[in-house]
Amino acid sequence: MEEIQYLIQNRISEASIRNRFKDWLWRFIRKAGSYEEMTYGETIVGPETEEGFIIPGHGLVWPDEGTKMRELNASQMRFEGWRGGVSYHYLLKVYSWKVRLICRIE
């Protein structure tokens, strides 16, 4: 937030500030997806299959497994709070709508 306050005080463009928030949000969602995979064995964030990828896997990349575990464990309460929130349930509805649409097309 200090960075955002600095950008606002220095009259950086609104589009730039919005992009910072959007980047933070997408990073949070990808971390939450990694947390869901680790904890629950599946996630709605990310591809259904890893076939066709040169390097299997998706989401964020950490330098090592220890760093990943520390970062995900530090944000565990945030991820669980988001899973119980309205925005997560909205994401579930959007995802299920897209899946039904794809099944109908096939």
Confidence at residue 72, expressed as pLDDT on a 0 to 100 scale:
92
Six token digits for residue 73: 């464990």
Q: What is the pLDDT of residue 24?
A: 87
Q: Residue 24's closest CA among 1, 41, 47? A: 1
Instruction: Quote the pLDDT of residue 48.
Output: 56
| Region class of 46: left (phi > 0), else alpha (psi between -120 and 50), else beta | left
Task: Say what the pLDDT of residue 53 is.
Answer: 52
The helix or strand, by DSSP H or E, that contains position 5, with its residue range, turns out to be helix 2-9
Q: Which of 14-28, 42-56, 69-83, 85-99 has the highest mean pLDDT?
A: 69-83
Q: Residue 50: which residues within 8 A CB-CB, separation 6 or more?
A: 56, 57, 58
pLDDT averaged over the chain?
80
Distance separating alpha carbons of residues 96 and 76, to the nearest angstrom:
25
